[in-house]
Amino acid sequence: MNASISMGVSAHNPLQALARLLPTGTPFPITKPPKRHEKAANGLQLVLGSDGNITAYHNANPVAWIVAGYHHSKETGLRCEFVDVAYRRQTRNGINMETADFDTLPEAVSFINAAFGGAV
């Protein structure tokens, strides 16, 4: 099953969908894929996947997935675009998969920074 289609990501070009959610003139906050011996000082790194989605790594472990999402109303015909973040959260009894929605990509990146330790 193709998760990007079932989750409502634009099938044409997910990277363009994410780029539309950046303020004009904002650089795309992506780095090259992590190597086992390289990591940021805070251990957090964003990596653009071949499918146009972004994976956030903390100390070389994947901790969040960022995708461009949308809702298309059948009643009004209006389309709402947003950024979805799926991330893991440690609890007393284990690990949960959580989600959060944001209007822009920088807001999503700021959330991941706050949740997993520092600036990217």
Structural domains of the chain, count:
1
pLDDT of residue 120: 43
Confidence band of 41 (pLDDT split at 50, 70, 90): low
The model carries a pTM of 0.61
Type of residue at 53: N
Per-residue tokens: 91: 């609890």
> What pLDDT shows up at residue 84?
92
65-74 average pLDDT score: 88
Q: Where in the sequence is the domain holding 64, given as residue range(s)?
A: 3-116
- Mean pLDDT, the chain, whole residue set: 72
Instruction: Name the band, by pLDDT with cuts 50, 70 and 90, for residue 10.
Output: very low
pLDDT at 75: 92
Cα separation, 63 vs 48, whole angstroms: 14
